[in-house]
Structure 1
Amino acid sequence: MSAVAIDIGSRYARIARVGAHGAPELVELPGAVPGEGLPVPVGEDGRRDAALHAAYSAYVGQHGVPDRLVIVARRPDRSGPPGHGADASAGLHKTGRTPPPSVLSTPHAVLALLRHAGTATAGRYMVCDLGAAAAEVSVCVVTAGAVAVAGSARHAPADGYGAGFEAALLAQAGLPCDEAGRRVLAGLRAEDGAALRLDLALDRAERNPDRYDATAVHRVAGHDITAGTIRLALRRLTAGLDLTTTEALDDAAPAPVDGASPAEEAARAAVGGLVAVGGTARFAPLLRHLTGGGWPLVPLPAGTDPALAAVYGAALVAAGLADPADRYPYAVCVGAHRTVAGRPENQELLVCGAGLLEPGGAAVFAEVGGERLRVRTGPAGAVAGRPVEVRVRDPEGAVSVPVRTVALPGGAEDDGFHLGVRLAVDGTARLVLCPLDAGAPAEFPLGGLPTDLRTDPKGVRL
C-alpha cells in the first residue's frame, strides 16, 4: 500500500512518504530543490491550488496513484466533512485520480511526529510554525488519544515573515530577493564556522552597537552583510513572534477552577515544551530568543529539518504509523426508549458519529435528516429522568464499550431537549443537554472516552 503526504508552503510543495526503513523521507521528483521540495508556481490565480495540483500530478506521474493521501493545511482551511479535504484539496479535482484525501492541521502533524518518537507525552506544548509568509503559534494540549488546539495566533506581515528578514539581508548584499538569492543565503549559513561567527558578531553588536554593528558577518558579490543589518532584521522576527506567542497563550488560558490556588492555576496553564518548525526555524538566533522565555525546546527526532517536520508527521499518519488524534475515532451512543404503536421499545440513539468529535471543539448533537433531534428525559410528569447509559462503538468492528450511566433530570410532557456530546481540551467528554426554550445547557461529565476498542477489555460484540 502506498501512502503519501503533501504540505504546500508559500515557497515549496513538499511530498513525503515512509521509506523502507520506517522513517519518513521526501519523495524525489523532477524539478524539486534538494532538501526543500517542488517550487510553488508564482503568479497564478489560486496559487495554493495550483501548487497542490502540480505536486500531486508530479507524484502520480512518477509513482502512480497512492492508496492514501494526507494534506497538511492551516486550521482555518479545515472546513467541510471532518477528516477529508474540502478547501484544502480543491486543486486535486483537476487530476481526476485521487483517493479521498484526509486533512491534518500543522500542529497536529508536528505532534504526530513527536508522539511517534515518544518525545511529546501528556501536557501542553507550544507549536511555533515559522515560515516565509507568517509565524503561527498554537498552544496544544496532549492527552491520551487526543490533541486539542487550545489557542492560536498568527502574524503575517504584508511582505512576509521570514521572507522580510531575508529581503533585508539580500538588499544590503545587492542581490534580488528571489530563489537564487535565497540559495546564496542558505549557502552562507552552511559554511564552516558561520554559526559561531554570527553568534559572536551579534553578541558584540548587542552590547556595543556603535562599535560592532558595522562588523561584516558575510560577504556576497563584493557587498558585506553586517551584524547591524542582521540584528535589526532579527528584531523584526522576534517582535512579531513575541506578540503572536502572547496572543496564543491568552487565547489558550484555561477557564478558572473554583477553589484553585494561584499556584494550581499557573500549573494548569504552564507550557511543558516548545516546538519550532518551518523554514525560518532554521535560524539559530531566533531559536535562542524563543528558549530565552524559559520554555524547553523539544528536539525534533533524528535531526529532522524543521521545514519538513509537518510533512513528515503527516506521512506517518498516512502510513498508519501514527494516530492524528485530531478527531475521536468512534461513535457515541446512548440507550433510549421510544413508544411505537403504544408499546415501549429500547433503542440505541446515535449522538455523534465516528470522526465528528474534535478535541476542544464544539458539541455535536444528535440529528435526523440534518435537523437536531428533539428528546425528552423521562416519562411525562416524572420527577426524575431514566438513567441513560452512554456507550462508544466502532461501526466497522461492531464493538461497543460502556462509558458511564448518567442520571438526567426529569421534565414535563412538553419539555424538549437537544442531546449532544463534546470533548474538552483536557481529553474528557461531557454529555450536553440543551433545552429547546433557549435555557442554559447542562453538562454531565463522562470522563475519558476509550481510545482503542480493539484492545479494551470491556469490549462487547453486538
Structure 2
Amino acid sequence: MTTAAAPPAIAIDPGTRFLRVARTRADGTPELVELPGTVPGEGLPTPAGVRGDRGAALSVAYTAYREHCGTPGQVALVVPPQERAVPPGDDRMPRPRLLDVPHAVLALLRHAGTPMAPRWLVCDLGASAAEVTECAVVGGSLAVVRVARYAPDHDGYGAAFDAAVLAGAGLPTDHTEVLWELGRARARNARRTEVALDRMAARPDRAARFADTVLYEVAGREITAGMVHRALDRLTGGLDRALDGLPEHRATGPDPSRTAVIAVGGPARSGALLGYLTGRLGRPVLLTGGTDPALAAVFGAALVASGHIDPADRYPHAVGVRVQRTTVGRPRDGELLISPPGTLEPGGPTVFAEADGERVRVRTGLADGTAGREVRIVVRASGTGAAAEAGVVTVPPSGDGARFHVGVRLAVDGTARLVLQPLGVHPAEDRLAAQHPPEEFALGILPTDLRLDPPFDSPPDSEGART
C-alpha cells in the first residue's frame, strides 16, 4: 500500500516587477518554481495591469501555480509590514502564513547557520521602495523595532534607476522584454560595470573620459558607464532618504557585536550601491551560497512554509495589565501576567491570563458596576526587569460582580487587542455568559525595544485581581 505524497509548500513574493514563487527541494534547498512564462532567475513578469495592487498580483501568481502544479499544502506570502493584512488572492488558497521581508530574510540566514548579531538593519531595496528595518534579536524572537521607508509615488525606487538607464539610451522604460534584457545584460557584465564605476569615482578629473565606455547592449542600443553613473544617483539618493528615518545609525565597522547589515532586493545586485551602503553602515553580511539578493525573501519564506525554520515572529516580551488586589482589607497594586514572552503570534489565537493551569477571573470597574475603569497595559522583558507601559484602554462598566477572562491577541497586521471574555457572577453561570462574544480593545503596535522606552516599574502579580 502506497501513501500519497503531501502537497508541496510554497512561498509567493508578489513584487512590482516580478511574481516569484518558490519551494524547497527534498534536501531543504529553496528554488524558484519554473512556471510558463517565467524569466530565469527572476520569476513571472508582473502584468502591467496589476502592478501596485498586491492582492491582484498575488491572485495572478497563485492561479499560475495552481493551474500548472496543483493546489499546494501550505502557502507563505511575503508582504511589507504595512500590508500584512493583504487579503488572499484566491478563495481556494490555503490560509497563508504572512511574513515581512526582515523575518523572511533572517529566516534564510538562520537556516544557513549565519551567526545572529543582537541588532540588524535589513535593507530591502526593491523596484517600488527602499525600506530599512531595524530588528532586535530578543530571546528566540526577531522583533521589528522601527521601519524607515522611501517610496516615491511617480516612478518607484529601483524602477526609477532602470528607467533612467533606458531613457538615456532612448529605449522604452516600461517594456517587459526590454527590462528583462536589461537585467540579463547587467548580470552578465556586473564586474565590467563595477570596474568602470570605480574608475569614475576614483578619478573624478577623468570621469568624462570613462563615461563613454560601453558596458553592454540592450535592444541594440549601447549602455555606457556615464548612463549608469548618472542613474546611480536614483539608488544612492533614495537610500539616503530612507536612512534619514534612522539618523542615529552611522558606519558600524567590522565589530560583529554591533548592528549587522543585510541588503536584499534587485538593486542590491549592484556592486556600486553595496559599496555606497558599506560607506554608510558598514559592510553588509553576505548571503550564503551566493543567493541572489532579489530571491532572498521568497527563499526564506519557502523555508518557513515547508517547516525547515521557524519565522521567530512571536512577540518577545511578556504582556500584562496593572491590577489592584485587596489583601486584609487594603488595596495593593501589581501586575497580572497575561502572555509570557514568545507566546503571541500574529494571526494566532488569543492568549488568556492563567494561574495554576486555570484562567484567571477578573472584574472591571467599581464593585457596584456603575463606572468603567482605565486599564494599563504593561510589557516586560524576560530576565531584565526592563518594562514599559504599552497603552491605556477604558473598559466600560459591567454588571455588579461580573467577571471576565482577560487576554491579548495579535492581529494579522501585528497590532494587539486586549480581549475580555464575559463570565457570570457565579461559576455556574460561566458557560452561559461565555456564549457572548468577547469584547476587544485596540492597543496598536506593542513596543519591542525596551531599551528605547522609559522604565516602568511595577511588581509582578500572577494571582486573580481586579483591573
TM-score greater than 0.5 by the shorter chain:
yes
1:377 to 325, 329, 334: 325
CA contact (8 A) 1:376 1:415 kept: no
Question: Could you say which residue in structure 1 is the equivalent of 2:426?
Answer: none
**Structure 2 residue matching 1:377: 3-state secondary structure:** strand
Q: CA contact under 8 A between 1:141 and 1:149: conserved in structure 2?
A: yes
Q: Please say which of residues 174-183 and 137-146 is displaced more in the overlay.
A: 174-183
Map Cα deviations across residues 276-319 of structure 1 (whole Å, 9 max, x no partner): 10011111110111112251311112111101101111111111
Sequence identity (%): 44
User: Retained in 1: the 8 A contact 2:262–2:286?
Assistant: yes
Superposed counterparts of 1:97-108, under 5 Å = 97-108=92-103
Query: 414-423 or 194-203: which moved more?
Result: 414-423
Call closer, same or farther: CA 1:228–1:424 in 2, change over 3 Å: farther
Q: Residue 31 of structure 2 aligns with which residue?
A: 25
The 5 A counterparts of 1:26-425 are 26-44=32-50, 47-78=53-84, 86=85, 88-92=86-90, 96-157=91-152, 158-177=154-173, 178-191=175-188, 194-195=192-193, 197-203=195-201, 206-220=204-218, 223-250=221-248, 271-327=258-314, 358-359=315-316, 376-379=324-327, 381-382=329-330, 384=332, 392=340, 418=375, 420-422=377-379
User: Number of matched residues?
Assistant: 370
Do 2:136 and 2:143's aligned partners in 1 also have CA atoms closer than 8 Å?
A: yes
How far is 1:23 from its partner? Answer: 1.1
Letter in 1 for 2:182: L
- Separation in 2 of the partners of 1:287 and 1:112? 22
2:19 touches 2:44 (CA, 8 Å); kept in 1?
yes
Cα distance change, pair 380–63 in 1 and its aligned pair in 2 (3 A)? farther
- Assess, with a 3 A threshold, how the Cα gap between structure 1 residues 64 and 238 changes in structure 2: closer, same or farther: same
Counterparts in 2 of 1:422 and 1:172: CA distance versus 1, 3 Å:
same
Superposed displacement of residue 99, structure 1: 1.7
Higher mean C-alpha deviation, range 116-125 or range 234-243: 116-125
Q: Displacement of 1:33 after TM fit?
A: 1.3
Please report how far the alpha carbon of residue 90 of structure 1 lies from its aligned counterpart in structure 2 after TM superposition. 3.8
3-state SS, counterpart of residue 91 of structure 1: coil
Q: Deviations over 1:352-404 (max 9, x none)?
A: xxxxxx358xx9667xxxxxxx95333484153589677749899xxx999xx
- Cα distance between partner residues in 2 of 1:436 and 1:169: 53
Query: Relative to 1, partners in 2 of residues 1:29 and 1:444: Cα closer, same or farther, differing over 3 Å?
Result: farther
Report if the CA contact (8 A) 1:429-1:445 is conserved: no
Instruction: Give the superposition deviation at 1:148.
Output: 1.2
Residue 6 of structure 1 corresponds to: 12
Partner AA of 1:376 in structure 2: Q
Q: Which residue of structure 1 lines up, in the alignment, with residue 451 of structure 2? A: none
Bigger shift: 131-140 or 226-235?
A: 226-235
Amino acid at match of 1:75: P
Secondary structure of the corresponding residue to residue 89 of structure 2: helix
Instruction: Output the CA distance in 2 between the equivalents of 1:307 and 1:132.
Output: 10
8 Å contact from structure 1 (residues 52, 89) kept in 2:
no
C-alpha distance in structure 2 between counterparts of 1:294 and 1:381, whole Å: 58
The C-alpha deviation readout for 1:320-342, integer Å capped at 9, x for no partner, is 22121212xxxxxxxxxxxxxxx
Q: Which amino acid aligns with 1:168?
A: A
How far the C-alpha of 1:420 sits from its partner, in A, is 3.9
- Structure 2: gaps of 5 or more residues: 1-5, 344-348, 357-364, 396-453, 461-467
- Shift in CA distance, 427/316, structure 1 to aligned 2, threshold 3 Å: farther
- Output the aligned Cα RMSD: 4.0
- Give how far 1:16 is off: 1.1
Asked if 1 retains the 8 angstrom alpha-carbon contact of 2:319 and 2:337, the reply is: no
The more displaced of 382-391 and 210-219 is 382-391
Distance 1:427 1:100 in 2: 37
Corresponding residue SS for 2:326 = coil
Q: Which amino acid aligns with 1:239?
A: G
The answer to whether the 8 A contact 1:112-1:314 is kept is yes
Q: Is the 8 A contact 1:381 1:412 kept in 2?
A: no
SS at match of 1:276: strand
